[in-house]
Amino acid sequence: GDSVTQTEGLVTLTKGLPVMLNCTYQTTYSPFLFWYVQHLNEAPKLLLKSSTDNKRTEHQGFYATLHKSSSSFHLQKSSVQLSDSALYFCALDNYNVLYFGSGTKLTVEP
Amino acid sequence: AQTIHQWPVAEIKAVGSPLSLGCTIKGKSSPNLYWYWQATGGTLQQLFYSITVGQVESVVQLNLSASRPKDDQFILSTEKLLLSHSGFYLCAWSPDWGRENTLYFGAGTRLSVL
């Protein structure tokens, strides 16, 4: 069945460093992938989405490229800020249902 | 602008007691509606979705039920709570049917079952 894998549960970085959060997926359909971000005690919000192979999509300094050849949609940022500390979810759309990965908690330290 | 309101903000309930959580969307006619459950610090699991009044589809079986009595209202309920029902319940809506739809989440209801 459809699934999403996020390999890092916790990532801790110093402000100003680059970050990459991994996301791989499995689906029998043409993939639609999302990144949602959830700050502490808040609701999740959409960060990025894509269904186009090999096209970089960007928002708020974050970027990701869907690679169908490797079934990946990794999230990156060149320089993390303290405000980026949050829980990040990768998700896969399967028509009526959105499958979320287990999430990666990013903590940015001064 | 569209707004989504969930109630209550938090609940503490006893095992075996009934539960009713609600969600109202204003400013959008015929939204697609969803219920999600999130264990503390965990992932989001879709429970139900609805594309029209009176029609609800179940995604996972967790001894919960959902109803859509009005176009702008989505209700999650159970007659008998379990300890495993504890967590964060999020209602969400999307503007259109089809893929690549953005979900807009409510602020959620935190449920503690004791």
- Which H helix or E strand runs over A104? strand A104-109
B57 touches chain A (CB under 8 A): yes
B112 CA: distance to closest CA in chain A (Å): 15
Query: Best interface-test mutation with A: which of B103, B104, B109, B110 has the largest number of A CBs within 10 A?
Result: B103
Identity of the residue in A91, A96, A103 whose CB atom sits nearest the CB atom of B49 = A96
pLDDT tops 90 at residue B98 = no
Chain B residues inside the 8 Å CB shell of A102: 42-43
**All residues at 6 or more sequence positions from B61 whose CB lies less than 8 Å from its CB, including other chains:** none
* Residue A110 maps to a domain: no
Closest B-chain CA to A48: B102
pLDDT digits (tens, 9 = 90+) for A70-101: 999 999 999 999 999 999 999 999 887 899 99
pLDDT band (50, 70, 90) for residue B20: very high
End-to-end Cα, chain A, rounded Å: 41
| CATH assignment at residue B44 | 2.60.40.10
pLDDT tops 90 at residue A4 = yes
pLDDT tops 80 at residue B50 = yes
pLDDT mean over B86-107: 87
B26 CA: distance to closest CA in chain A (Å): 18
Mapped to the 3 state alphabet, what secondary structure does B7-52 carry?
ECCEEEECCCCCEEEEEEEECCCCCEEEEEEECCCCCEEEEEEEEE
* Residue A21 maps to a domain: yes
Q: Are A103 and A5 in contact (CB under 8 A)?
A: no
Phi, psi of B83 (to 5 degrees): -55, -35
Domain span holding position B34: 3-113
pLDDT digits (tens, 9 = 90+) for A35-55: 999 999 888 999 999 999 999
Q: Are A22 and A9 in contact (CB under 8 A)?
A: no
Q: Is A83 exposed, middle or buried (0-12, 13-18, 19+ CB in 10 A)?
A: exposed
Q: Are A3 and A17 in contact (CB under 8 A)?
A: no
| CATH assignment at residue A57 | 2.60.40.10
**All residues at 6 or more sequence positions from A30 whose CB lies less than 8 Å from its CB, including other chains:** A51
A107 touches chain B (CB under 8 A): no
Closest A-chain CA to B102: A46
Chain B residues inside the 8 Å CB shell of A36: 44, 103
Residue A66 DSSP one-character state: B
How many domains is chain A partitioned into structurally? 1
* Residue A67 maps to a domain: yes
Domain span holding position A9: 3-105
Q: Which residue has tokens 């359909």?
A: A29
Chain B residues inside the 8 Å CB shell of A87: 41
Cα–Cα distance measured from residue A56 to residue A40, given in angstroms and rounded to the nearest whole number: 28
A67 touches chain B (CB under 8 A): no
A60 touches chain B (CB under 8 A): no
Strand partners, A65: A56
How many domains is chain B partitioned into structurally? 1
Chain centre distance of CA A2: 17
